[in-house]
Structure 1
Amino acid sequence: MNAATNLLNQPACAQRMSEVRPVYLEALTLVERLHRRLLDVVKDEFDRRNRSDVNAIQALLLYNIADKELTASELRTRGYYLGSNVSYNVKKLVEMGYLHHARSRIDRRSVRISLTPKGKEVHDIVAQLYEKHASTVEQIGGVGADEFKTLNTSLSRLERFWTDQIRYRL
């Protein structure tokens, strides 16, 4: 029997698990809902500007690339983009003129991407949106710096927990 199974058999652990389970499941629901809501907020900003040329996922992808030159796989490994269709969106953004697409000078097999001026324009729209939110979230949303620090610590720990579940097959 492994250590995790031993822990689950202890009465105190069972009590603790019954306390953690509902708030853990609520957190999962909130994380999923917040991700969808962020996409809605970004889409709304582009709708207000009468911009339908990129979708919210593509806009966030361009925002996260910023002034960097990356490969598509680096977008995933650095956590900038977690979608399964990164190749599709990169291809579409190249075709629409938002991304430069060039072979790496060091490794010719690798393709590097970076923003074009058109991509930088989309990046700047998202950056302005985030700046507006950062300047009003405390007064309007009631969430201040200390709460964000606590939230970020908890979300980072949860991300690490999930990463370990996959990496170590826990």
Structure 2
Amino acid sequence: MPQTSPSPVRPVPALRPAPSVARADAYLESLQILERLHRLLQDLVKDEFERLGRTDLTPVQALLIYNLGSYEVTAGELRSRGMYQGSNVSYNLKKLVDLGYLSHERCDMDRRSVRVKLTPAGQEVRDNVAGLFARHAQGLDLSGVLDDPAIEIVNLQWRRIERFWLEQIRYIY
């Protein structure tokens, strides 16, 4: 019997979901998960503040304080960061000033514009939210949830989707 040479080994292509319907369904599922995660984040913040006996803030206001951090910004700058869609930023800022979590002053350059920054009470709220997030990050890290796939890869994918969405919005206008 003649000997035949073994056929060359071909690399196995990386496993990917079938294009079209499966990918579209996965994308739609991802959007639903993202929406649920956003609501759960607000619930987590609400529960934390209830546990601390702080019922004067909504989760949106607490997250606004957290994201404001040590910056001094205008309402327009907060809106342009793409956060707080669906919430009335001006109303929430006024409420946070009235509650003593933010201070405000007119801009020197544009007297129509008001800049806001955290007061010590606002910094305390920010620290509460930061502590909550640090505890969650530690728990997720210990459980291995952040490892497969690595959270850095997941974030890279979300940033790509964010960039795609921004391009779509710019294309419309």
Give 2:40's aligned residue. Answer: 37
Identity over the aligned pairs, expressed in percent? 51
Q: 1:131 to 1:22 in 2, by over 3 A?
A: same
TM normalised by structure 2 equals 0.83
Give 2:93's aligned residue. Answer: 90
Give 1:70's aligned residue. Answer: 73
| 1:117 is the counterpart of 2:129 | no
2-structure distance, mates of 1:74, 1:91 = 15
The number of aligned residues is 156
Give 2:108's aligned residue. Answer: 105
Give the letter for the 1:34 counterpart.
L
Question: Which moved further from structure 2: 52-61 or 133-142?
Answer: 133-142
Question: What are the ranges of 5 or more consecutive residues in structure 2 without an aligned counterpart?
Answer: 1-17
Give the letter for the 2:55 counterpart.
S
Give 1:7's aligned residue. Answer: none
Secondary structure class of the residue paired with 1:157: helix
- The runs of 4+ residues in structure 1 deviating greater than 4 Å are none
1:71–1:111 CA contact under 8 A, matched in 2 = yes
1:71–1:110 CA contact under 8 A, matched in 2 = yes
Question: Which moved further from structure 2: 52-61 or 105-114?
Answer: 105-114
Give 1:25's aligned residue. Answer: 28
Paired residue for 2:161, among 150, 158, 162? Answer: 158
Give the letter for the 2:170 counterpart.
R
2-structure distance, mates of 1:127, 1:42 = 10
2-structure distance, mates of 1:126, 1:110 = 28
| 1:81 is the counterpart of 2:84 | yes
Give 1:51's aligned residue. Answer: 54
CA RMSD of aligned residues (A): 1.8
Q: 1:27 to 1:146 in 2, by over 3 A?
A: closer
Question: What are the ranges of 5 or more consecutive residues in structure 1 without an aligned counterpart?
Answer: 1-14
Secondary structure class of the residue paired with 2:117: strand
Q: Provide Cα deviations, 1:50-99, integer angstroms capped at 9, x if missing partner.
A: 11011111000000111110001111212343344111111111111111
1-structure distance, mates of 2:106, 2:172 = 36
Secondary structure class of the residue paired with 2:158: helix
Q: 1:92 to 1:141 in 2, by over 3 A?
A: farther
TM normalised by structure 1 equals 0.85
Q: 1:49 to 1:143 in 2, by over 3 A?
A: same
